[in-house]
Structure 1
């Protein structure tokens, strides 16, 4: 499978079984359905709320693959190649968090233009940042879980349990908890734009730190060679 030393590392780690394309296709159908809404702001809010579900699904799938790759020895095999391991792990995370949110935002922008002949650029950019931050945190959490449990199904299950915990926290009467839950579900209609930006920056910084920590742990735990 990896006979060529110049293997396409990022493709293999980031897009196994063309999951990215499948999720983009599914999200296109979901978001396209929301185009029946009236008013561009209502459409934008609805679309971002719908976009959360393909983002969550993709993060869960990536968590599964990450845990399975550790369990099966894929990383151990890949890292026998002459490459910078930390850089490879960081680049694969960057690819994971950029492509899907970008595809979703591009589609939303095109539908807005087709339906309303107008694209609210500031809102679209802000919501793109929020979607990148959210998917980054979920995938980063999945990586840390995968390093410890080293099992695909368990990694996905623990990550989903963590998501449920966030949802339950939103059921409290605390305003901060409610806004946090709304943010992570990309239900941004009632959240101040400044809060969205600040929260996104904080979440991105935290997620990158989590990726660095999980990568250090992975490299220091000792990787078995792939089959």
Structure 2
């Protein structure tokens, strides 16, 4: 049986709840081939990530540092100014044992650290970036190309395509994260016994029964992220002081 945060439970109403947030993405052909063996085409759905950060009075597309043109003018100016300074200093590499805050300051500048990276990472990891090493987490942070940022601010170009290995991801059409575990399936398992569960949504603001994830606030216009209800869609809240 899969366990820990890689499992799912079914409540008395028949809704499946994942224990933790999960998406399925991979750089490894072996893993992709295993999924193809475990699931038929209709059993595994593929989604485009659609994630936003709530900043002040608006929603900013993820990655935050690549969409500074969506910020209020004063914040955008401060972030771009410090980003350009950081770009000029990048040749002076941080020491290998630098903490995460030092790495962030060197890569993005204090404007972005104060407005986003500091509040966000303190919330996610329950400790400040100064308390964290940079060696293991730095490769998970999206880069910010100064030229592309400036072009987007000027309205001359759209930001680069969605960044990261989870820009697209897969999730079972029925069931939950537990259904991905090889221990719970055999290759090409017949799908006749896989009935859709939890297709209705209960009332109230506290849950999305389709995947057992909390409701996320929607960006203006009623837009819902495409991956809502499909395993994991982070809505990061940066609360500037």
Q: Tell me, yes or no, whether TM beats 0.5.
A: no
User: Which protein shows a greater Rg?
Assistant: 2
Q: Normalized against structure 1, the TM-score is what?
A: 0.27
More strand by share: 2
**What TM-score results when the alignment is normalised by the length of structure 2?**
0.26
